[in-house]
Amino acid sequence: FTPEERAKRDQYAYLPFGAGPRNCVGMRFALMEVKVCLAYVIANFKIKKSPQTKVPLEYLTGVGMLQPKDVYVGLELRNKNPLVK
């Protein structure tokens, strides 16, 4: 996964749902399912920094976007929803 190899890779090598008029019929359902699950986690859990996360953050170099490395989070259940036990 070096930048040189990425330049050689065909741009259509990774198409999780396909492309064009015959792409995956379940694509919109799958993307909506991920959004609903993420919304559920955010609504029902507090997301906290784990003690394993180093402060200040260290960032990966040589990638297109600024990307922190070794970031760990923990989840704490919120008590507002009686459906979650």
Binding residues for heme, as ranges, are 24
**How many C-beta atoms surround the C-beta of residue 44 within 10 A?**
15
Contact 50, 75 (CB under 8 A): no
Residue positions in the annotated binding site?
A: 24
Which sign, positive or negative, has the C-alpha torsion 60, 65, 70, 71? positive
